[in-house]
Structure 1
Amino acid sequence: MTEPVRPQPMMDSINAQALLGSDPVAIRRRVEAVEAVLERAFVIPGLNRRVGLDAIGGLVPVLGDVITAAMGIYIVWEGRNLGLPKWQLARMAGNVLFDTAIGAVPVAGDLFDFLFRSNTRNLRIIKRHLDRHHPATRVVEG
């Protein structure tokens, strides 16, 4: 009988360092992961539409919107850590604020959360900045 293969502790620490670092590659990976959780973590059966915690959290009055707004502001904070210009940070914060304000409206706000993806917009802003100022972080998406 063979023993099951266990992950090597060294690999776990390397992966953790890759995500926890303050270099542009680590920041890009973190922001992409947060955006995926907020905007496309689940598939709605029948509709085949991807949604995330932003849309689902909006169904919980007040608390859901506050939590997803805080996660959206985290993306803005990471953009600040990358050195994005103030006007881009303001645009990103505006996206989160607009999404939170409209998302707080009962029923209509929940429908709006399915359509307006502020975190995806903010990820796009960060990716453009990284591609321009840190080209080594560029990932070819296929």
Structure 2
Amino acid sequence: MDKPFIPHSPTTARRLERLRPELPGLGNDPASVRQRVEMLERLLERSFKIPVIRRDVGLDAIAGMVPVLGDVVTAAMGAYVVWEARNLGLSKWQLWRMGANVAFDTAIGAVPLVGDAFDFFFRSNTKNLKILRKHLDKHHPASGIIEG
């Protein structure tokens, strides 16, 4: 009989540590954080393209159509980006700006109908990614991804 899979066993932890160099975005280094935040921003703001108007839309606008729950979920995902930025050592001013972007998006996005239209145009996660990229480019230039 095979051993049952126990997700938090020491053997599993050792296997995960061996896989970590092969799996991108799992570390706490600036390059991994950048990958995670860029992926999350793409998911929240630019997941789908509306063909008729050629506009990218993401989970933030779509989930915002679900009253309360959609706004709470996307606010939590936006707050995660701010938390990652805090761990990278962004200044309090930058963190306040990022937090204000998420709070503003959540507050206006919670208003029925008006909030749905607002989520379509105001992209707080894109704004926060821009702040994070600026910090990373200045303080951790090796974390930049060269696209070819």
- TM-score range with shorter-chain normalisation? 0.7 to 0.9
Of 60, 66, 69 in structure 2, the residue corresponding to residue 63 of structure 1 is 69
SS at match of 2:25: helix
- Residue number in structure 2 paired with 1:37: 43
Question: Structure 1: which amino acid aligns with 2:117?
Answer: L
- 2:100 is the alignment partner of 1:103: no
Q: d(CA) in 1 for partners of 2:22 and 2:69?
A: 32
How many pairs are equivalent?
A: 132
| 1:41-96 CA-partner distances (Å, limit 9, x unpaired) | 01113122111000001100000000000000000000001000011001100000
Question: Structure 2: which amino acid aligns with 1:51?
Answer: V
Q: d(CA) in 2 for partners of 1:94 and 1:37?
A: 20
- Residue number in structure 2 paired with 1:87: 93
- 2:29 is the alignment partner of 1:26: no
SS at match of 1:124: helix
Percentage identity across aligned positions?
64
Runs of 4+ in 1 over 4 A off after TM superposition: none
Question: Structure 2: which amino acid aligns with 1:89?
Answer: L
- Residue 15 of structure 1, CA deviation: 3.6
Question: Structure 2: which amino acid aligns with 1:131?
Answer: D
Q: d(CA) in 2 for partners of 1:74 and 1:111?
A: 24
Of 132, 137, 140 in structure 1, the residue corresponding to residue 138 of structure 2 is 132
- Residue 37 of structure 1, CA deviation: 0.3
Stretches of structure 2 lacking an aligned partner (at least 5 in a row): 1-17
After superposition, the Cα gap between the structure-2 partners of 1:43 and 1:58, relative to the gap in structure 1 and judged at 3 Å, is same
- 2:100 is the alignment partner of 1:118: no
Question: Structure 1: which amino acid aligns with 2:133?
Answer: K
Of 29, 53, 60 in structure 2, the residue corresponding to residue 54 of structure 1 is 60
